[in-house]
Amino acid sequence: MKILCADDDKDLLALIGFTLSQAGYLVVRAGDGTSAIRAFESEAPDMVLLDINMPGASGFQVCEAIRAKSRVPVMMLTVRGEEEDLVRALELGADDYMTKPFSPRTLLARVKALLRRAGLENSAPLAAGRVALDTQEHTVQVGTKEPVRLTKLELRLLQMLVANAGHTVSSDRLLMQVWGHKGSGDRQLLKQLVHRLRHKVEVDPAAPQMLQTVVGAGYKLIVD
C-alpha cells in the first residue's frame, strides 16, 4: 500500500513518513504542492495526505488536480480549524480532514479507517515477478521456495524495491523509507542491510542477480 504525504514542514513530514513506514506502508514524500502533483502522477499512490498551506500549489489545488484524474482517498492536514476550510476541502473531494497538532497514533488510526472505508486495507502480498512480499507476515517468497522471515528494516527496504521493480531506487529514497531520515553516514547502514537481504533472497549472495547495486545511484530489483 503506497501513501503520498505532502507537507512543507520537513520535521512533520519525516515524522509522518516514519510512522507510516513503521506500520508497513510505502511512503512517497513531497515538500510542496507542485512536487505533490508530480509525485502523484509518477508514483500512483493508493492514498494521499495533503497539507493545505504549501508553496507551489496549495493542498486545495493539489486535491482538485487529483480529483480530476482519480478517486483515491485524500486526507487533508492543516493547522487551520475554520469551518470554511473543512467545507471547501470536502467540496473538492477530500475524504477526511485532520487538524494539527495530532499524535502519530491518531493519524495512523485515521489512515487505516479511511483505507478500510475505501476497501483498500488488505493483506494481499506485494509481488513483482517471482518475488512475493507478505507485509502482514513479514516474509518474502522467491519462486517456489519456502517463505523467508524478514526483519522490519529488511521488509521496508524490500517493499520499496518490489514496488519499483526494474527501476533504480536512489539511496536517499531508500534511507527515508527505511529509517525516516538520510545522512552521509547512513549509506553504510544501507549497504549492510542490502548485504543481509541478499543472503535471504539470492542463490549466490556474492554474485547477486536480483538485488543489484547501481553504482553512484542506488539499488535495483531485477525480477523475471
| CATH code, 43 | 3.40.50.2300
Q: What is the pLDDT of residue 126?
A: 78
Per-residue pLDDT at 223 exceeds 80: yes
Per-residue pLDDT at 100 exceeds 70: yes
Residues 217 and 134 in one domain: yes
Residue labelled with grid coordinates 507485509? 135
pLDDT class of 78 with cuts at 50, 70, 90: confident
Query: Can you say whether residue 48 is alpha, beta or left, with left for phi > 0 and alpha for psi between -120 and 50 degrees?
Result: beta
Per-residue pLDDT at 121 exceeds 70: no
Number of domains in the chain: 2
Residues 65 and 88 in one domain: yes
Residues 17 and 88 in one domain: yes
Residues 10 and 109 in one domain: yes
Per-residue pLDDT at 110 exceeds 90: yes
Residues 104 and 206 in one domain: no
> What is the model's pTM?
0.70
Residues 91 and 28 in one domain: yes
Judged by DSSP in three states, 17 sits in helix
Sorted by sequence, the CB contacts under 8 Å of residue 41 that are 6+ apart come out as none
Residues 34 and 86 in one domain: yes
CB contact at 8 A, 157 and 174: yes
Residues 7 and 111 in one domain: yes
Owning domain of residue 69: 2-117
Residues 173 and 216 in one domain: yes
Among the candidates 117, 139, 158, a domain finishes at: 117
Residues 11 and 80 in one domain: yes
pLDDT class of 204 with cuts at 50, 70, 90: very high
CA–CA gap between residue 213 and residue 125 (Å, rounded): 25
| CATH code, 217 | 1.10.10.10
CA–CA gap between residue 80 and residue 7 (Å, rounded): 14
CA–CA gap between residue 72 and residue 60 (Å, rounded): 15
Q: What is the pLDDT of residue 49?
A: 97
Residues 162 and 217 in one domain: yes
